[in-house]
Amino acid sequence: MEYHQITVHTQTEAVEALSYAFLELGCGGVEIFDPKDILNQEKDPTAWDYIDEDLLKDLNRDEVLMRCYFSVEKIKTPADLEAIVFDLQHEIAHIAEFLPVGSGKIETTSVFEEDWMNAWKKYYKPFRLGHHILVVPSWIECEEEPGDIRITLDPGMAFGTGTHETTSMCMAMLEECVKPGDLVLDIGCGSGILGITAAKVGAGKVIGSDLDVNAVAVAKENVVKNHVDDVMSVAHGDLNEIPEYKGLQADTVVANIIADVIIHLAATVKPNLKQGGTFISSGIIKERRADVEKALLENGFEIVEVQEKGSWVCIRSILK
């Protein structure tokens, strides 16, 4: 399938705000390439690096590339594309009033999903996180160690491969928190990697949801690929609009989105979480940590753990 790729050259500080702007414009997927995510990653001598740092040598290490994708069904004419770029320029100018946005340069091109995925193969290798989780792309064979929890995942049009700090922190927390038989809700599931992780570490039932139809399709494929379709289902829509959620009270809710959405969920997720249940939230830049913590505390949550990696924060809280 063909997509219009729109690339914005920006800085780490503006990633969250631009991500929200992309979603508001109706993009079908967002890709974030921030060299700091790689350079600041903790090095474990027993782990595989997921990228060769030589690939960064000719890049501006202070510049973030954010790419959003629109299907040709969404943008049918050059005029449609110009309108999207114009709106994006307006959003960047507005964000620049509050945050450093870098050059804000916008580039457009057309890509095919197959070409996009194949281009990423040179970057993506098996890697470990948490205590036993091993994430492996489907085209690579690797030896497993006793106790490994293997997750097969390829880069695709939906966010979430485990390499980004927000995703990896959520996965590690799920490994620690999920108990056998638990009910887990994965809100804004993207590729489905967090829900798959929950299923792999013992959850009895997992329900993922996303507003992006493409993400739902990708997540469903990944669920089957990882042989957890007897545990995990994926639905399209908002939390409060999905029949599968009605009357359910989860042991754990995980949401790796953006700070503003987490703040909203702090109030709305409670009917779907047991008293004493765990809420794992990430996608939060450090500058918004206090805002999210305030919202959680005001809505009856107790913050029990906060992790930081690079520019990102992951918060584990308990509903009192």
Instruction: Name which of 16-25, 35-44, 165-174, 274-283 the model is least confident about.
Output: 35-44
Q: Residues 6 or more apart from 113 whose CB is under 8 A from it?
A: 1, 2, 3, 156, 157
pLDDT of residue 57: 52
pLDDT band at 58; cut points 50, 70, 90: low
For 108-166, what is each residue's pLDDT tens digit? 988 776 665 566 566 567 777 878 888 887 777 777 778 888 888 775 544 555 567 88
Report the chain's mean pLDDT, rounded to a whole number.
83
Alpha-carbon gap, residue 228 to 248, rounded angstroms: 20
Identify whether the C-beta of residue 159 lies closer than 8 Å to the C-beta of residue 186.
no
Alpha-carbon gap, residue 320 to 305, rounded angstroms: 15
- pTM for the full model? 0.66
For 174-201, what is each residue's pLDDT tens digit? 999 999 999 999 999 988 999 999 999 9
Mean pLDDT of 71-93: 86
Query: Higher confidence at residue 172 or residue 40?
Result: 172
pLDDT at residue 38 tops 70: no
